[in-house]
Amino acid sequence: MNQSVIGERWEIGDAELEVSSPRVPCFKLAARIGDPNFVKTFGRARRPGPYLRITHPGTIAAGDHIRIVARPAHGIRVVDFFTIYLYERPRLRELLAAPEIPGDWTNWIHEQLAS
């Protein structure tokens, strides 16, 4: 899942999903589970997993296979996005090569590049 490309589309059951961004935990989750080091531990593991956008609603059941139906040529993977966000901010501009990145992330990247 971490090697999935941002914008990659998956068919599962009769639904279609698109990889949109990595999961990035926040301090609220760390507080909820009672581990103040959770966010750092999660980051060091570099296994964020993807958030998925529903592009075609449908039914998904346990055991359904994931079939990749489209993969963008830009090659920016979930783990690349996560690594750049947490550890390699000078590379933020590279993420803009993926037009499938959600608008809130794109806006944040532009704000960071402007400052």
> What is the rounded CA–CA span in Å between residue 7 and residue 4?
9
Is the per-residue pLDDT at 26 higher than 80? no
CA 32 to chain centre: 22
Across 54-79, average pLDDT: 97
Q: What is the mean pLDDT of the chain?
A: 93
Residue 4 lies in a domain: no
Task: Report pTM.
Answer: 0.86
The CATH number given to whatever domain includes residue 50 is 2.40.33.20
Torsion of CA 38, 102, 4, 82, to 10 degrees: -30
Residue 30 confidence (pLDDT): 78
Range of the domain at 94: 9-114
Name the domain count of the chain.
1
**Nearest partner of 40 among 55, 27, 58, judged by Cα:** 27
Residue 22 confidence (pLDDT): 95
